[in-house]
Structures are given as structure tokens and as C-alpha cells.
Amino acid sequence: MYAVIILIDQIINIYIWTLLAYIMSSWLIAFKIINPWQPAVRMIINVLARLHEPILRQVRRYLPDIGGIDLSPIVLFLAAQFIRNLLINSLA
């Protein structure tokens, strides 16, 4: 059971880091620091979007519209951390 919880913890950890990479890449594109038309950048953005957009879309359905600010990555990040802490506490 210990190994399964550690595996799930590591998967959540990887998911959090890729979520942070997705957020940072969207900021870099918005500030025109990286070019989204480059093939390598486009491929990375597509992979990250396929991984995170389905869950972010579900979170956005329940959040109020605040204008130009998207709070769904913050909510998803906090939810992933909460699940991770629950797993760690259940292990202890």
C-alpha cells in the first residue's frame, strides 16, 4: 500500500510541475517572449494543453467570470496539493 501511495504522490507532483510549465508558457506567449509558431514550442504547448485543458475547463465552469484573470490554474494547483496532502497524511 505504501508503494501505491508514493506512486500517486509522484504522479501528482509531476502533474503540478507540468501545470506550472503550462502557466509559465502561456505567460511567455502573452508577453511575446517566445514565438508560439515555432514547431518545438507548438508541440510542447499542445502536449501541455491536452494534459491540462480538460480539467481546467471543468474548473472554469464553476468559477465566476472575473474579466481577464483566469483563476482556474490556481484552483487546480490548490486542489492537487490538497489531494497530495491527504495522501501523505493517510500514510502517516
Cα gap 51→33, rounded to integer Å: 23
Q: Which residues contact 85 (CB under 8 A, 6 or more apart)?
A: none
Cα gap 75→62, rounded to integer Å: 11
pLDDT above 90 for 65: no
Instruction: Report pLDDT digits (tens) over 9-54.
Output: 999 999 999 999 999 999 999 999 999 999 999 999 999 999 999 9
Residue 15 near residue 80 (C-beta atoms within 8 A): yes
User: What is the pLDDT at residue 88?
Assistant: 87
pLDDT above 90 for 60: yes
Q: Which domain holds residue 87?
A: 2-91
- 9-20 per-residue burial string, b: 16 or more CB within 10 A, e: under 16: beebeebeeebe
Mean per-residue pLDDT for 55-82?
Answer: 93
Take residue 9 and report the three cell numbers written for it: 504522490
Q: What's the structural domain count of the chain?
A: 1
